[in-house]
Structure 1
Amino acid sequence: MIQLIIVEDHESLIDGLKLLFANDPDIEVVATAQDGVELIKLMEHKKAHVILTDISMPRMNGVEVCTKVKEINSSIKVIAFTMFDDDQAVRDMINAGADGYILKIRPLSVVREAIMSVMQGNTYMDSAITIMPSTYTSSSHAEDILSSTEREILKLIAAGHQSSQIAEIRHCAVGTVHKHRKNMIQKLGLQGKGELMRYALQKHNHYK
């Protein structure tokens, strides 16, 4: 029996999925979670073969959920179940290790099809997704070239902190923060502080 955990904050959708699998001979819903933080706590005492997760969630979005689940147990299959149909969302989930990607506009029966497919070792992609596998890792992931310090500063920028506040949080000089900002702008090929702010917001707040 395939054990499934659903991560979703819409009760009506959870109820629909529970009903779908109520008498299924192959799949059992063993637990549900409202968000990623609740899921990680659940996984301390609940075992699952498949995690079906939304992407847009507070506290921990679907990309972060996928990354964390794969760190805990890489054999667990993760399927995104979302309204996001843009290339960036697909890239982010696949690069985080997702095994499947389904749009919520599909009939719930497609969820079963996806689960059975990924359990056979396949990657299941919604038929509406047009992005090619070769483009999953692309220049959109230029953030990978940033140092760990620069990535942390990028998160603080996305959170709305000014350079002086970042310096205080990181216990460094304001000039050091300015230097890191300049380096990130150069590495990412951006045109000034405004573009760096937009990049930070898009990267870290897109799925909130």
Structure 2
Amino acid sequence: MITIIMAEDHQMLIDGVKSFFEYDETVNIIGTVNNGEDLVKLVLLKQPKLVITDIRMPKMDGIEATKIIKTRLPHIRVLALTMFDQPDAIKQMLDAGASGYLLKNSGIKMLSKAIVTVAQGETFFDPNVAFNFMNDYIDTNVTVGKSEKVLLSNREKEILNLIANGKTSKEIAEALFIAKTTVDTHRKNMIRKLDLKNGNELVKYAIDKKYQF
């Protein structure tokens, strides 16, 4: 189990991430905070396996918080989740001790990959920032996220949006004036196209697209 404390001053993002991982048996978000000072206090108290933190936050930024956490508890892994793609910000965060750097617009599926990678002791880079910094981490196991573009039909996008809103296949069929079996076929096709395992993962994917970072 990967225990996580997340620091982010936008509560909507926290709620979206918590919703996505609510039924994930490998990830447990044991605490959330909205500023750097509270992050340090909660991490020292609960000692999670992984910290996810933004850079710009009230009271104390993510860089300073990461420095303190890594000094006091060097075994805890830190993943930066931020909007900042400037080289200076990335370098400061990595120098502070972060083991991963992910941009918020990468989507929650890549966040899931980053969490597992960093928790395993490896380094994870967002593909949009990776190649400027990989050489500095040549002695570590580095994973670069992959931007996967999947083409869904307009009908599939409609159905995906309704799935994200909690609609059943029957309700979707009634809303779109199509047969339930047609909806089920579209679900199966999307699972195949998106390289997902089952319907539960399709629901998670739908929520990801609804709560886009």
User: CA contact under 8 A between 2:2 and 2:50: conserved in structure 1?
Assistant: yes
Structure 2 Cα separation of the partners of residues 132 and 45 of structure 1: 32
Query: Is 1:96–2:96 an aligned residue pair?
Result: yes
RMSD, aligned CA? 1.3
Q: Which residue of 1 aligns with 2:65?
A: 65
Matches within 5 A, 1:168-187: none
Structure 1 stretches of 4+ with a deviation exceeding 6 A read none
Q: Which residue of 1 aligns with 2:48?
A: 48
Structure 2 Cα separation of the partners of residues 28 and 73 of structure 1: 19
User: CA contact under 8 A between 1:20 and 1:109: conserved in structure 2?
Assistant: no
Aligned letter for 1:115? I
Three-state SS of the structure 1 residue aligned to 2:128 is coil
Q: Mark the runs of 5 or more structure 2 residues left unpaired by the alignment.
A: 138-213
Structure 1 Cα separation of the partners of residues 128 and 43 of structure 2: 31
Aligned letter for 2:89? A
Q: Which residue of 1 aligns with 2:8?
A: 8
* Identical amino acids, percent of aligned pairs: 38
User: CA contact under 8 A between 1:4 and 1:52: conserved in structure 2?
Assistant: yes
1:91 CA displacement: 0.6
- Tell me which moved more, 79-88 or 40-49: 40-49
1:13 CA displacement: 0.2
1:43 CA displacement: 2.5
1:47 CA displacement: 2.4
Three-state SS of the structure 2 residue aligned to 1:5 is strand
Structure 1 Cα separation of the partners of residues 21 and 48 of structure 2: 15
Number of aligned residue pairs: 136
Three-state SS of the structure 1 residue aligned to 2:39 is helix
Three-state SS of the structure 2 residue aligned to 1:113 is helix
Q: Which residue of 2 aligns with 1:200?
A: none
1:135 CA displacement: 5.4
User: CA contact under 8 A between 2:56 and 2:62: conserved in structure 1?
Assistant: yes
Structure 1 Cα separation of the partners of residues 64 and 124 of structure 2: 20
For residues 142-173 of structure 1, the C-alpha deviation after alignment (integer angstroms, 9 at most, x for no partner) is: xxxxxxxxxxxxxxxxxxxxxxxxxxxxxxxx
User: CA contact under 8 A between 1:7 and 1:53: conserved in structure 2?
Assistant: yes
Structure 2 Cα separation of the partners of residues 60 and 132 of structure 1: 25
1:35 CA displacement: 0.8
For residues 101-159 of structure 1, the C-alpha deviation after alignment (integer angstroms, 9 at most, x for no partner) is: 000011112111001001222100000003133458xxxxxxxxxxxxxxxxxxxxxxx
Query: Is 1:122–2:101 an aligned residue pair?
Result: no
Q: Which residue of 2 aligns with 1:131?
A: 132
For residues 3-60 of structure 1, the C-alpha deviation after alignment (integer angstroms, 9 at most, x for no partner) is: 0000001111000010111000100000001111011221343120000000011221
User: CA contact under 8 A between 2:7 and 2:36: conserved in structure 1?
Assistant: yes
Structure 2 Cα separation of the partners of residues 132 and 79 of structure 1: 15
TM-score, normalisation: structure 2: 0.61
Three-state SS of the structure 2 residue aligned to 1:16 is helix
TM-score, normalisation: structure 1: 0.63
Structure 2 Cα separation of the partners of residues 117 and 135 of structure 1: 18
Q: Which residue of 1 aligns with 2:82?
A: 82
